[in-house]
Structure 1
Amino acid sequence: MISHAAPSFRIRPIEARDDAAIAAIIRRVMPEFGACGSGFAINDPEVDWMHRAYSAPRSAYFVVERVDAHGDGTVEGGGGIAPLTGGDADTCELRKMYFLPSLRGLGAGEALMTRCLDAARGFGFARCYLETLTGMDAAMRLYARSGFHRIDHAMGATGHGGCNTFYLRELTTD
């Protein structure tokens, strides 16, 4: 019997074998929102070795796989947290959270956000910061639903000079 159930997703920690898939996703999604050129993650060399970058202390990166009826998964998104470069020790940054269009609207964003914020709390962070840009409207709605509040200035030294919208969330409350 053939199952016609809608595909689901699963979230797991990144593995070295996922590096090429995540790099391709980031480089495909960012231009959708005009995020090209200097100051954007598309040119960040870390994009090519995410597994290694997020093996650092107090860092975690998760991939989201679309799962078919046979249980086979294909990486279609990801996101992570790491200490905020140039920030205080109590603040992490939500980083490189991108999904292919085929994964959007399935609840994967909220599930991944929960996983990232739980990891941040587990690492002892008190706040989570993120940067984005005008036009990423669905992402901004997710941030607001997840308890992030817009702030009027950048924090730390992320190197993402192309971003123009900034959010912060206290992690001590839900």
Structure 2
Amino acid sequence: MSTVQFRSIEPADNPALAHIIRSVLIEHNAAKQGTAFSDPETDFIYEQYQSPGAHYFVAVVGGQVAGGAGINVLQGEGDGKVCELQKVFLLPTYRGMGIARQAIERCLAFAKAQGYTHCYLETLPELANAIGIYEKFGFAYLPGPMGNTGHNGCDIWMIKEL
């Protein structure tokens, strides 16, 4: 198996990443309204990460986009000190290799360097393996959502102090 390389998102990555996100949600029976599955922005991921304080790391293995993860400011949180870990998805072939962990590490290091004090995320119970990874990173459960993510279909909310 080739080594994983991480790079910044490029406009040409939009179709591959949209396909990965939607196929993973279908795979886990989590293709529902109010999630990244139905979010029109899923088709324009590159554009979402072009503002200051935002970055999307694309994982590439053997020349193929395997998945990725991103950090962006949490909309609706006022002071701009809370970021959101977003769109952590990998194709099934590349799971179990530590790629998600490496992507999250890069995201959290970027977030800290940007001056964020906390990192928030939203997920679904169907994504149990991802939840386990978030727990290992020290994300704690919240009783309800924060900010204005537009993903009202997610019902697990977590936060981590950076």
Q: How would you bin the TM-score normalised by the shorter chain?
A: over 0.9
Taking the aligned partners of 2:126 and 2:36, their CA distance within structure 1 comes to 16
Taking the aligned partners of 1:122 and 1:149, their CA distance within structure 2 comes to 21
Secondary structure in 1 matching 2:53: coil
Is residue 125 from structure 1 mapped to residue 116 from structure 2 by the alignment?
yes
Cα deviation, residue 77, structure 1:
0.4
Unaligned stretches of 5+ residues in structure 2: none
**How high is the sequence identity, in percent, across the aligned residues?**
40
String of CA shifts for 1:56-82, please: whole Å, max 9, x gaps: 121111111112xxxxx1001011010
- Does structure 2 retain, via aligned residues, the 8 Å contact 1:40–1:160? yes
Taking the aligned partners of 1:18 and 1:39, their CA distance within structure 2 comes to 23
Give the ranges of 4+ consecutive aligned residues of structure 1 lying more than 3 Å apart after TM superposition: none
Aligned residues: 161
String of CA shifts for 1:3-31, please: whole Å, max 9, x gaps: xxx32211111011111111111111111
**Residue 63 of structure 1: aligned partner:** 58
**Residue 102 of structure 2: aligned partner:** 111
Secondary structure in 1 matching 2:159: strand
Secondary structure in 1 matching 2:37: helix
String of CA shifts for 1:99-150, please: whole Å, max 9, x gaps: 1101110000110001000111121100000000112111011101112111
Secondary structure in 2 matching 1:111: helix
Is residue 77 from structure 1 mapped to residue 72 from structure 2 by the alignment?
no
Secondary structure in 1 matching 2:7: strand
Taking the aligned partners of 2:126 and 2:42, their CA distance within structure 1 comes to 22
Q: What TM-score results when the alignment is normalised by the length of structure 2?
A: 0.95
- Does structure 2 retain, via aligned residues, the 8 Å contact 1:35–1:162? no
Unaligned stretches of 5+ residues in structure 1: 1-5, 68-72
Q: What TM-score results when the alignment is normalised by the length of structure 1?
A: 0.89
Taking the aligned partners of 1:74 and 1:117, their CA distance within structure 2 comes to 24
Is residue 32 from structure 1 mapped to residue 27 from structure 2 by the alignment?
yes
Q: Which has the larger radius of gyration?
A: 1
User: Alignment partner for residue 18 of structure 1, among 7, 13, 20?
Assistant: 13
